[in-house]
Amino acid sequence: MNPARTALITGASRGLGRALAGRLAEQGWHLLLTGRAADDLALAASELARTTEVIARAGDVADAAHRDELLAVVTGWGSLDLLVNNASTLGPTPLHRLEDLTAEALSRILAVNVVGPHALTRAMLPFLIRGGGVLLDLSSDAAVEHYETWGGYAASKAALDQLALTIGSELSGIRAYAFDPGDMRTAMHQEAFPGEDISDRPLPEEVAVPAILRLLARRPPSGRYRAEDLLAETAVEAPPEATSTASGGPA
């Protein structure tokens, strides 16, 4: 019998991370989940533990001691099939124009969205390489477009894209994806649009998660992929590498 596949998902207590964890649990993956709020994370982990083996470690992805805790778990596993750098911050909300974004606020955005994920990726690379695993960095259309007040977050997502795409070109033994999930009806999205009705946006399990499962099943070349492209390709049964390596669009 093959050993269970293993995944580390940052920011898995709600939103996309939680939804993806649920689908992977149904497929028998063993999961290591993070998030800062220990109670929220414990609740998610206890729900998922009815289906599969789940380890929860509460902490901030920007905190080196927290990342060391994650490394200890994965070292115990011996290999890692999937690292999802999903935890992210918008920075101060309501979102600020760049002229009002302080150096401290931008530093925090970059620490959570870029420096922490890069440090975590470096720590996990030997384990990903061992099994030819997948690095999945959560991008945004803001990485390739520019919108008023989104500058700090957008710069961080553009930087994260560059890290994923460069690792993909440096290491042929793994797959490295920058993945744009499109708009999703989550706490982060509501925070970005305070007071607005966001009920027309799809839930993570409706578009983004099926697209990620498609990526994991097909393992196209490392690159930048958008959820909507992956699902459109599924509809016409075209190979994903034909059209989806670089693109943008409003979200």
Ligand X SMILES: NC(=O)c1ccc[n+]([C@@H]2O[C@H](COP(=O)([O-])OP(=O)(O)OC[C@H]3O[C@@H](n4cnc5c(N)ncnc54)[C@H](OP(=O)(O)O)[C@@H]3O)[C@@H](O)[C@H]2O)c1
Q: What amino acid positions are annotated as catalytic residues?
A: 153
The first and second tokens of residue 177, run together, are: 């994806």
**Residue owning tokens 């990726």:** 121
Nearer to ligand X, 131 or 212 (CB): 212
Residue 27 three-state SS: coil
> If DSSP states are collapsed to H, E and C, what string results for 64-121?
HHHHHHHHHHHHHHCCCCEEEECCCCCCCCCCCCHHHCCHHHHHHHHHHHHHHHHHHH
Instruction: Name the DSSP class of 5.
Output: P
Residue 206 three-state SS: coil
Nearest distance from C-beta of residue 227 to ligand X, angstroms:
9
Nearer to ligand X, 131 or 156 (CB): 156
- Which chain residues interact with ligand X by CB under 6 A? 10-17, 34-37, 40, 60-62, 86-89, 112, 138, 140, 181, 183-184, 186-189, 251
Nearest distance from C-beta of residue 87 to ligand X, angstroms:
3
Nearer to ligand X, 130 or 248 (CB): 248
**CB of 14 closer than 8 Å to CB of 36:** no
**Residue owning tokens 């709600």:** 14
Q: Give the CA count within 13 Å in the CB-facing half-sphere of 24.
A: 31
Nearest distance from C-beta of residue 140 to ligand X, angstroms:
4
C-alpha R_g of the chain: 17
Nearest distance from C-beta of residue 81 to ligand X, angstroms:
20
Residues in the chain: 251
Nearer to ligand X, 99 or 200 (CB): 200
Nearest distance from C-beta of residue 230 to ligand X, angstroms:
15
